[in-house]
């Protein structure tokens, strides 16, 4: 495993050596409060564990990685402030985050303008992220890379012919998820009988769910963040909907299962992380998290992998941890063993590895074989 470098994002295009220390600082802008807090907490656990593991491995000797954490609050304005702080005050060499695609669309252009590399670890909107510029990269598969496969497998297993769709229309991530779901359902020949929307602050979804249930859909497909997702699934069951449900990437959190309880049983979700993979990198990740008393999810795995990718970029750059070094190193990452599988970047700087499908069984996510 790679030795960790202390991760910090540098402000101006100054060489790493100019700072004198053998520490590479990486800023981690995460949603530790707000609508996406359940994801941010998981990401912080993954980043810190990976930094510890990399540093202890000595693979980056004489360098060390240091993660500098700050809360983006699940908001564009706060994310912008965090990026500016990392770039101009903390002077990190790279930035991991922010958690939500909506925040990324506002904050990433600042990093692009300042020529600071960004590694998105949970931004899954198919467009509007890496096309911001050549300093923006991501290890998170887009909804377009994950959802079609999940719908295809669910369709083959369950044979539904119709669907009802519910999505959050005030968030880039959930809106993008809906766009992909609609296209994927249509490509499978599934008729969409009804589409309903909601906003993140909503807590009562009975009107939308009643309208959907009245159409008697063969499956209910939902694009929502974990907090909304748990309420939607719970209220759907309370209203008597007993059919299958499939969620987007926002469902990929143990918090969804915890908050939805028995209502979550049977829910299908596309995922970028095969939790049951026997690959050595995934088993090492699972062991590391167990030792820390953490039950990892997809967001933990993507965050942990993000640090490994930055460490690999530093190695590819000749053990140099400056901003331009890391950017150049990213372009050379090929088939890197990570918890996500063998990881590479596409020419468009997006993630390239195999997705999976999971289902809630016995209060846990299980990979659907």
pLDDT at 9 over 60: no
Q: What is the mean pLDDT of residues 241-259?
A: 93
Give helix then strand counts, H and E, for the chain. 11, 15
- Does the pLDDT value for residue 145 go beyond 70? yes
The answer to whether residue 111 scores a pLDDT higher than 50 is: yes
Range of the domain at 312: 16-141+277-352
Residue 332 CB neighbours (<10 A): 12
Residue 50 token pair: 């990976």
33-59 residue pLDDT tens: 999 999 999 999 999 999 999 999 999
State residue 175's pLDDT score: 94
Say how far apart CA 221 and CA 105 lie, in whole Å. Answer: 26
In a domain, 151, yes or no: yes
In this predicted structure, the answer to whether residue 3 has a pLDDT above a threshold of 70 is no
Count of C-beta atoms within a 10 Å radius of residue 293: 7
> Does 129 map to a domain?
yes
Question: Is 360 within the bounds of a domain?
Answer: no
| pTM metric for this prediction | 0.85
d(CA 269, CA 248): 6
Considering the chain, what percentage of its residues have pLDDT values greater than 90?
87
Query: For the chain, what is the radius of gyration of the CA atoms?
Result: 20
> Considering its fold, how many domains does the chain have in total?
2
pLDDT value at residue 249: 87
Give pLDDT, residue 21. Answer: 55
- Output the CA–CA distances (angstroms, integers) from residue 153 to 75, 249, 326, 345, 369, in the order listed: 34, 16, 38, 25, 10
The answer, yes or no, to whether residue 19 has pLDDT greater than 70, is no
What is the rounded average pLDDT for all residues in the chain? 92
Q: Which two structure tokens, joined as six digits, stand for 350?
A: 């997006």
Same domain, 181 and 257: yes
In the numeric block, which tokens belong to residue 215?
A: 């159409």
Distance CA 306, CA 338 (A): 9
Which is it for strands 356-361 and 268-271: parallel, antiparallel or unpaired? antiparallel
Assess whether the previous peptide bond of 98 is cis (omega < 30° from 0): yes
The backbone torsions φ and ψ at residue 96, rounded to the nearest 5 degrees and listed phi first, read -105, 130
Tens of pLDDT along 277-292?
999 999 999 999 999 9
Instruction: Look at residues 120, 119, 124 and name the one whose alpha carbon lies nearest to residue 141.
Output: 124
In a shared domain, residues 133 and 20: yes
Residue 20 has pLDDT above 80, yes or no: no
**Mean pLDDT confidence for 178-185:** 96
- Higher-confidence residue of 210 and 15: namely 210
Q: What are phi and psi of 255, to 5 degrees?
A: -65, -35
Please give the structure tokens belonging to residue 320.
Answer: 């140099």
Q: Are residues 104 and 219 in the same domain?
A: no
Q: How far apart are the first and last CA of the chain?
A: 29
Tell me the percentage of the chain whose pLDDT exceeds 70: 94
- Domain holding 220: CATH number? 3.40.50.2300
Q: What are phi and psi of 280, to 5 degrees?
A: -55, -40
Residue found by looking up tokens 């929307």 in the block: 197
Distance (Å, rounded) from C-alpha 118 to C-alpha 112?
8
In a domain, 361, yes or no: no
Decide if pLDDT at 10 tops 70.
no
Q: What is the average pLDDT across 222-249?
A: 96
Rounded Cα gap, residues 182 and 248, in angstroms: 12
């Amino acid at each position: 495993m790679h030795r960790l470098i202390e991760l910090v994002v540098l402000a101006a295009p100054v060489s790493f050596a100019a700072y004198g220390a053998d520490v590479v600082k990486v800023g981690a802008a995460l949603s530790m409060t707000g609508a996406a807090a359940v994801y941010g907490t998981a990401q912080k656990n993954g980043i810190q564990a990976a930094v510890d593991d990399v540093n202890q491995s000595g693979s980056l000797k004489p360098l060390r990685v240091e993660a500098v954490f700050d809360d983006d609050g699940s908001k564009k304005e706060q994310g912008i402030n965090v990026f500016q702080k990392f770039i101009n005050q903390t002077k990190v060499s790279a930035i991991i985050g922010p958690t939500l695609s909506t925040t990324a669309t506002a904050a990433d252009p600042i990093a692009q303008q300042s020529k600071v590399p960004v590694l998105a670890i949970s931004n899954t909107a198919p467009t509007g992220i890496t096309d911001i510029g050549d300093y923006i990269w991501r290890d998170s598969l887009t909804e377009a890379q994950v959802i079609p496969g999940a719908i295809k497998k669910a369709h083959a297993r369950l044979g539904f012919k119709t669907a009802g769709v519910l999505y959050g229309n005030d968030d880039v991530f959930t809106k993008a998820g809906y766009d992909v779901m609609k296209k994927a359902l249509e490509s499978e020949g599934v008729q969409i009988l009804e589409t309903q929307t909601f906003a993140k602050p909503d807590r009562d979804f009975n009107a939308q769910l009643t309208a959907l249930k009245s159409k008697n859909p063969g499956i209910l497909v939902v694009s929502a963040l974990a907090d909304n997702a748990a309420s939607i699934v719970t209220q759907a069951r309370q209203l008597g909907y007993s059919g299958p449900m499939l969620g987007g990437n926002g469902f990929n959190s143990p918090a969804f299962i915890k908050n939805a309880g028995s209502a979550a049983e049977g829910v299908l979700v596309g995922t970028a992380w095969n939790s049951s993979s026997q690959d050595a990198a995934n088993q090492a990740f699972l062991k590391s998290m167990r030792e820390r008393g953490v039950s990892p999810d997809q967001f933990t795995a993507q965050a942990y992998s993000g640090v490994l990718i930055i460490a690999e970029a530093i190695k590819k750059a000749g053990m140099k941890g400056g901003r331009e070094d890391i950017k150049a190193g990213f372009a050379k990452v090929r088939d890197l063993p990570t918890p996500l599988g063998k990881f590479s970047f596409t020419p468009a700087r997006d993630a390239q590895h195999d997705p999976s499908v999971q289902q809630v069984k016995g209060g846990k996510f299980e990979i659907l074989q």
